[in-house]
Amino acid sequence: MDTMQQARLDAAAAANAEDASIWRWFCVLLEERRVRWRYAFDQWVVSVDRVRVAAESNFHDAIRAAKRAAENRGLGLLHEASGDARRSRVNEDVTRCLRSDDECLRSPVGHTH
């Protein structure tokens, strides 16, 4: 394997790790009903904790931008669960959500018309 192929593999692995992090964040906020999105005027508008944080023409780009902007503003932070039962439920919800990305995207929670 030459240097260019290795660089491509490394870049793909980094992108996959970042993408997984974004969708884990999204799923937790979705389960907690803290993220909302709508399509208006050819843009996906995303709000976290009732604050508009991103607007992009592509849904995936809007969610990525929302995560960055929300973290910069101290919004959408994932809180430590206060008890094992809460932690267990959140972990189960995230696991279920990650098993089926379509399930998260089809869920009416967070989607406003």
The answer to whether position 113 is within a domain reads: no
Q: Which domain holds residue 94?
A: 3-106
Q: Is residue 111 part of a domain?
A: no
Strand, coil or helix: 113: coil
* pTM exceeding the 0.85 threshold for the entire prediction: no
Residue 65 lies in a domain: yes
Asked, for residue 19, whether it belongs to a domain, the answer is: yes
β-pairing, 43-48 vs 51-56, is antiparallel
Residue 50 lies in a domain: yes
The DSSP H or E segment spanning 12 is: helix 3-31
Q: What is the pLDDT along the chain (113 residues), one digit of tens a residue?
A: 788 787 777 777 766 677 888 999 999 999 999 999 999 999 999 999 999 999 999 999 999 999 999 999 999 887 644 334 444 455 565 555 555 555 554 444 444 44
| Number of structural domains found in the chain | 1
56, part of any domain = yes
C-alpha 95/C-alpha 100 separation (Å) is: 9
In the β-sheet with 35-40, what is the strand arrangement from edge to edge?
35-40, 43-48, 51-56
- 68: its two tokens: 């960055």
Q: Does some domain include residue 94?
A: yes
78 occurs within a structural domain: yes
39 DSSP 8-state letter: E
Tokens of 45: 């508008």
Contacts of 58 (CB under 8 A, 6+ apart): 44
Q: What are phi and psi of 62, to 5 degrees?
A: -65, -40
